[in-house]
Structure 1
Amino acid sequence: MTVPLPPESLWPARLAILAVIGLNLALSEHLTLGPTWLLPSLEGLMLVPLVVVRGRARRHLVRLEARVTPWARDSRVLAIAVIALLHLTNLSSLALLVLSLLRGSGASGVSLLAGALNIWVTNVLVFSLWYWEMDQGGPLRRGLIGKPPDFLFPQMTLAPTTPPWRPMYLDYLFLAFTNGSAFSPTDALPLSRRAKGLMMLQAATSMLTVILVASRAVNILK
């Protein structure tokens, strides 16, 4: 009989969220909506209840050996809201970067290039969180027997191991990094339509950021 796996550690994803908040604080004001501290402060405030609710949901799952509880459902809604806010913040910064380049703002070339790099790294972290939260119902439901995966990792095609292999946050971070740098899947293959849609969106965002950096670099060299 196959036994469901216990829920995975939540700390890697929490650290990734904190890293995104730090990157948002590091952006210059011409790449942020409102004061630099405004959106990161809101993100930090939303992170607090997420840590509390999801932590409690995880303890319930470990103790009760269940996978669907009101705490788990509420924590998933909170997690999606936090990731969506992080994503919208990054997209707004990218839009402001495009406007800065098109309008020829007074920002220095170094400042714009640093902002573009910040946006690209943030994009990788945000999509790693999307993949981690989406695949097989999220971290609290991943490992539930019969839950179809959204991604096919190479380890899934190998002979079964004891305990069974399952993806952790670092696997999704690697997936997001390779998709953001190669603009295509190089490690895990998307199986569901929503996984394909997210990977397309990430690749398009990364490609736009790289094109902007390249065009600015050419102008600097001239």
Structure 2
Amino acid sequence: MVTALLAAICLTVLLPHELRFAPRFLVPGLELALLLALILGDPGRIDRRTRWIRYASLTLVTVLILGALWATGLLIHELIEGKSAVANDASKLLETGAVVWASNNIAFSLFYWDLDGGGSAARLYLAPRYPDLAFPQQLSPEIAPPRWRPLFVDYLYLSFTNATAFSPTDVMPLAPWAKVAMSVQSLVSLAILGLVIARAVNVFS
């Protein structure tokens, strides 16, 4: 999880100035400060159940999601206007599109990881009777070890497959928030991939 967060922070720094919400290092600095607070407050497995750690975790995920969606909206605006360097340089456009797309996927994976079943700490101590996201190992317990719990990599896989298939693959959303989140991510991914590829082909031609 920490590796994914650091990757998301690095991707934020790589965004061109046209897609930034604030000065280059302001949002990444805030994200890094929140991450350090989480690590210092709960070193190791992020399994302590305290209110301030929960709030810090939710704040960090919120900042990541809003930053990724903000960059997505500005990228779509730049593509529609077609006047900036990002929209008229195919190489820069593909690079920027990849950064925004990956940022969204990491942000949504953290969103799923932090909300499913009340968060990682809650899932560790008590498996929810009715999960928000149903993994194959939960639907078919005979194929998984006893007391199986989804790890962050399972949510990362969920996020990337949802972004490429534009629909659930092997993980089913059961809670309303999960259905809304996966729908939003699918639409965002479809918009990024469709518009970026179409614009890049137009620039190349």
TM-score, normalised relative to structure 1: 0.83
1:192 to 175, 183, 189: 175
Secondary structure of 2:142's aligned partner: coil
| 2:161 aligned residue | 178
2:67 to 76, 81, 89: 89
1:55 to 29, 43, 46: 43
Matched residue type, 2:97:
A
CA contact (8 A) 1:128 1:172 kept: yes
Mapping for residues 65-84 of structure 1, pairs under 5 Å: 69=49, 71=50, 73-84=51-62
Q: Which has the larger radius of gyration?
A: 1
Percent sequence identity is 37
| 1:121 aligned residue | 102
| 1:136 aligned residue | 117
1:31-51 CA distance string (max 9 Å, x none): 212322221112112222122
Give the Cα separation in 2 of the matches to 1:205 and 1:139. 26
CA contact (8 A) 1:97 1:112 kept: no
Q: CA deviation at 1:74?
A: 1.8
Give the Cα separation in 1 of the matches to 2:197 and 2:118. 38
User: How many aligned positions are there?
Assistant: 200
| 2:137 aligned residue | 155
Give the Cα separation in 1 of the matches to 2:16 and 2:203. 20
1:103-127 CA distance string (max 9 Å, x none): 2233122212211110111111111
Give the Cα separation in 2 of the matches to 1:57 and 1:114. 33
User: Where does structure 1 lack aligned partners over 5 or more consecutive residues?
Assistant: 1-12, 62-68
TM-score, normalised relative to structure 2: 0.89
User: Where does structure 2 lack aligned partners over 5 or more consecutive residues?
Assistant: none
Give the Cα separation in 1 of the matches to 2:44 and 2:54. 12
1:155-211 CA distance string (max 9 Å, x none): 121327554211111111110010000000111111111111110111111111011
